[in-house]
Amino acid sequence: MAVQLRTKYTIIPITNNTPRSHRPSLSRLRAICSVNSTAAKPRPNREKLVVVVNPLLSNDPTLQSTWTHRFWVSAGCTSVFASLAKSVVAGFASHLWLEPALAGFVGYILADLVSGVYHWASDNYGDESTPLVGTLIEDSQSHHKWPCTITRRQFANNLHFLARGVTLTVLPLDLAFNDHVVHGFVSTFAFCVLFCQQFHAWAHGTKSKLPPLVVALQDMGLLVSRTHHVKHHRAPYSNNYCVVSGVWNKALDENNVFEAMEMVLYFQLGVRPRSWTDPIL
Ligand SMILES: [Zn+2]
Ligand SMILES: [Zn+2]
């Protein structure tokens, strides 16, 4: 049996030399495989198989963690742990647990809202040339073209950007405050913000391959689930932005909060959100 591989375009291997901005075009490469039987049949039996080639494989360097990524994730986790330790130690000393526990709950709820605003902003505004956050915006927007790529992104690679922000914010708070209620809020809020991209990745994971604890938390609604987040990747696309627990999504979408913010930005600054022109956002 002879197998012929026919393509409409030349297949170019993905290397470090391939400009990142050129890679998306490779995703649209369609390889048509024709299977010809060379047995004594007068008419070969032909089958056509269409294969869509994903440009970002798990060994792609843009998905792998660097030591800089690991440094910032470690620093972020350390600053969050220091804040949590201050809250717990002061709670032991004062025997007051209710206030820091409530502050922690508020931090958890508020982090979901902040994750939605952050996600909405990076999906809709700026591009890869935007100073400081260009790579982040590019990654966020390419996530809509290849949603499953986030599951191949290594841990520190996925978290390092927010870990950097958490470190630079929480470390000064660790040094400035000793109040256990403040740190009850700060530690929970910062933890959820730091890990929200991991929660997002888990929402794209296959249930059978996720840790049982993660599946249990998703089923309880404490972490955003696959069935909840998948709505963000379906028409009209501009909803369900929150990726910690998703608890804010219903209220935000039913009250058209993000649409209202887009209108304000358009009329005040003349900036159009990408969701108005890009069919997959
Ligand atoms: Zn999105
Ligand atoms: Zn997603």
Cα of 123 vs centre of ligand 1, distance in Å, is 5
Cα of 143 vs centre of ligand 1, distance in Å, is 7
CA distances 252 to 66, 78, 117, 219, Å, are: 36, 33, 10, 22
Q: pLDDT digits over 38-86, tens only?
A: 344 444 444 444 444 555 666 788 889 999 999 999 999 999 999 999 9
Contact 138, 223 (CB under 8 A): no
Q: What does the pLDDT read at residue 34?
A: 33
Closest ligand to Cα 228: 2
Cα of 208 vs centre of ligand 1, distance in Å, is 24
Using CB atoms within 10 Å of the CB of residue 252, give its burial: 0 to 12 exposed, 13 to 18 middle, 19+ buried: buried
Q: What does the pLDDT read at residue 260?
A: 95
Label residue 256 left, alpha or beta by phi (over 0 means left) and psi (-120 to 50 means alpha). left
DSSP 274: G
The list of the chain residues with pLDDT below 50 reads 1-52
Cβ atoms within 10 Å, residue 141: 20
Euclidean distance between CA atoms 66 and 155, whole angstroms: 10
Give me Rg for the CA atoms of the chain.
23
Q: What does the pLDDT read at residue 23?
A: 41
Q: Tally helices (H) and strands (E) across the chain.
A: 10, 3
Full-model pTM: 0.78
Three-state SS at 4: strand
Q: What does the pLDDT read at residue 238?
A: 76
Q: pLDDT digits over 220-238, tens only?
A: 999 999 999 999 998 887 7
Cα of 115 vs centre of ligand 1, distance in Å, is 11
Closest ligand to Cα 116: 1
Longest dimension (CA), the chain: 90
Cα of 141 vs centre of ligand 1, distance in Å, is 7
